[in-house]
């Protein structure tokens, strides 16, 4: 109940995993008045760090049931101002560690906004403990379920202008995709998910990328990645095989919690796209491929799973017009996304395609793989309307030359002393994968 003359205290939080720190700040707020929580929406959080483990609605249910919380309102941005102007709180509570970087500005805007009605910013000493790094670690400890992971790609697409995936081909590379982060302007940058590349999965098994590594073997790799990660996975399904086989692939991936499969519109002996026309690859007919897409769409059980159609027309020099005709046909057949591939050394044809794609009445997320035109930035791709960018082979391409160099050096020297500086310390490798604490 809103008591007359009670002061209002506003606290903004993400409240993904509730910690004693949250309780402490709410308790302090209660001493000052009635507590209104500005709960950051998924979009607000995804703008500066990893998508929260729990969606907004679930976080809201938790936080509004905490003793002393009068009301939970959505805070749509990191910026407090719109909510402050609406609520006109007497106090805003925050930890005292935000007087630096980008947050400094947010803090000043809070102070300035409160001023006209005599509101006050109250800062509490920051007690060490919970950081986003430790939260991420905790999320990994908690783990995930197939269902939560499966829905994550659609949630990300709803929350972010652009989703960034990196290739993994093993449990260990999955762990890199899961954990590597950099801090930039108070934003924590991470990969949003994992690309299960057929090229690197095959190469890691010393097999060519011709759909020879069978689905059982590829699912073993998927399983290793599932075990070490919580982020969404897009599976490179190559051609998807014949429709009668593709429907099984869809069911298997969906059951495991993989978020999406991408299939390419080629048939017969598949060769890696980056060979271009030199490899004598054959494109499927529009009818044949749309039949495969709709077969897959009928096979899936949930609404969350995505089937993304990959167009090889530019790779095969069939022209922009042909690529666009196919995009439209694949969307009409039910494709949840379109991947347009190119092996040009400039992004020009991808940008032209994106421009034309943006004019479609019926649109789905556009996916690109800038392997050969790697100079284009994520910002430029996002401005062109691209929704998913895939770094398709970079972990394997960087690891392999490093390993060859170390092997050569040992041979040359007849001992391993000189490769030490190229290697991580023994004490690090033995601790790289800690045992589970519980």
Q: Which residues bind ligand SPV (CB under 6 A)?
A: 197-199, 236, 272-274, 369, 371, 392-393
Q: Which is nearer to ligand SPV, 175 or 368 (CB)?
A: 368
Q: Which is nearer to Mg ion, 168 or 199 (CB)?
A: 199
Closest separation in Å from C-beta 236 to ligand SPV: 5
CA–CA separation, 23 and 137 (whole Å):
21
Closest separation in Å from C-beta 238 to Mg ion: 6
Closest separation in Å from C-beta 238 to ligand SPV: 7
CA-CA-CA-CA dihedral for 224, 211, 350, 192, to nearest 10? -10
Q: Which is nearer to ligand SPV, 106 or 393 (CB)?
A: 393
Residue 42: which of Mg ion, ligand SPV, none does it interact with, CB under 5 to 8 A by kind?
A: none
Q: Which is nearer to ligand SPV, 75 or 273 (CB)?
A: 273
Q: Which is nearer to ligand SPV, 63 or 204 (CB)?
A: 204
Residue 393: which of Mg ion, ligand SPV, none does it interact with, CB under 5 to 8 A by kind?
A: ligand SPV
Residue 273: which of ligand SPV, Mg ion, none does it interact with, CB under 5 to 8 A by kind?
A: ligand SPV
Residue 274: which of Mg ion, ligand SPV, none does it interact with, CB under 5 to 8 A by kind?
A: ligand SPV
The C-alpha angle with vertex 282 and arms to 279 and 288, in degrees rounded to 5, equals 160
CA–CA separation, 13 and 24 (whole Å):
13
- In the shown chain, the binding pattern of residues 63 to 102 toward Mg ion, with x for contact by CB under 5 A and - for none, equals ----------------------------------------
Closest separation in Å from C-beta 236 to Mg ion: 4
Instruction: Tokens for 49, please give them.
Output: 């760090």
198 in contact with Mg ion (CB under 5 A): yes
Size of the site for Mg ion (CB under 5 A): 3
Query: Which residues, other chains included, contact 140 with Cβ-Cβ below 8 Å and sequence gap of 6+?
Result: 178, 179, 229, 230
- In the shown chain, the binding pattern of residues 223 to 262 toward Mg ion, with x for contact by CB under 5 A and - for none, equals -------------x--------------------------
Closest separation in Å from C-beta 245 to ligand SPV: 18
> Active-site positions?
209
284 in contact with Mg ion (CB under 5 A): no
Residue holding tokens 């347009």? Answer: 340
Binding site for Mg ion (CB under 5 A): 198-199, 236
């Amino acid at each position: 109940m809103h008591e007359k003359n009670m002061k209002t205290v506003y606290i903004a939080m993400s409240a993904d995993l509730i910690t004693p720190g949250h309780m402490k700040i709410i308790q302090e707020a209660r001493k000052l008045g009635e507590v209104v929580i500005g709960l950051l929406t998924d979009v607000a959080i995804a703008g500066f760090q990893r998508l929260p483990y729990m969606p907004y609605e679930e976080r809201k249910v938790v936080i509004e049931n905490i003793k002393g919380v009068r009301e939970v309102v959505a805070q749509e941005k990191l910026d407090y101002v719109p909510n402050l102007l609406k609520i006109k709180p007497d106090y805003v509570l925050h930890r005292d560690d935000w007087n630096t970087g980008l947050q400094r500005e947010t803090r000043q805007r809070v102070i300035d906004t409160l001023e006209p009605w005599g509101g006050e910013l109250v800062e509490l000493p920051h007690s060490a403990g919970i950081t986003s790094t430790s939260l991420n670690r905790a999320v990994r400890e908690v783990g995930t379920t197939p269902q939560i992971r499966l829905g994550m790609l659609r949630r990300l697409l709803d929350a972010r202008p652009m989703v960034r995936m990196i290739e993994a081909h093993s449990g260990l590379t999955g762990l890199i995709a899961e954990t590597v982060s950099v801090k930039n302007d108070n934003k924590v940058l991470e990969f949003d998910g994992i690309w299960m590349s057929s090229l690197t999965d095959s190469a890691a098994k010393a097999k060519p990328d011709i759909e020879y590594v069978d689905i059982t073997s590829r699912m073993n790799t998927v399983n290793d990645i599932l075990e070490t990660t919580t982020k969404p996975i897009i599976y490179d399904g190559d051609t998807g095989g014949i429709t009668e086989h593709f429907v099984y692939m869809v069911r298997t991936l969906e059951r495991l919690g993989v978020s999406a499969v991408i299939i390419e519109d080629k048939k017969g002996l598949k060769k890696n796209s980056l060979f271009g026309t030199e490899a004598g690859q054959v494109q499927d007919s529009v009818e044949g491929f749309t039949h495969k897409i709709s077969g897959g769409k009928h096979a899936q059980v949930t609404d969350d799973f995505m089937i993304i159609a990959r167009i090889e027309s530019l790779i095969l020099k069939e022209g922009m017009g042909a690529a666009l005709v196919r995009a439209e046909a694949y969307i009409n057949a039910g494709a949840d996304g379109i991947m347009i591939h190119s092996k040009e050394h400039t992004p020009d044809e991808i940008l032209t395609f994106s421009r034309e794609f943006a004019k479609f009445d019926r649109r789905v997320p556009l996916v690109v793989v800038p392997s050969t035109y790697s100079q284009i930035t994520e910002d430029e791709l996002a401005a062109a309307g691209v929704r998913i960018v895939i770094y398709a082979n970079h972990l394997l391409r960087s690891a392999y030359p490093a390993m060859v160099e170390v092997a050569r050096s040992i041979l040359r020297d007849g001992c391993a002393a000189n490769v030490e500086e190229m290697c991580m310390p023994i004490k690090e490798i033995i601790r790289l994968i800690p045992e589970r604490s519980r």
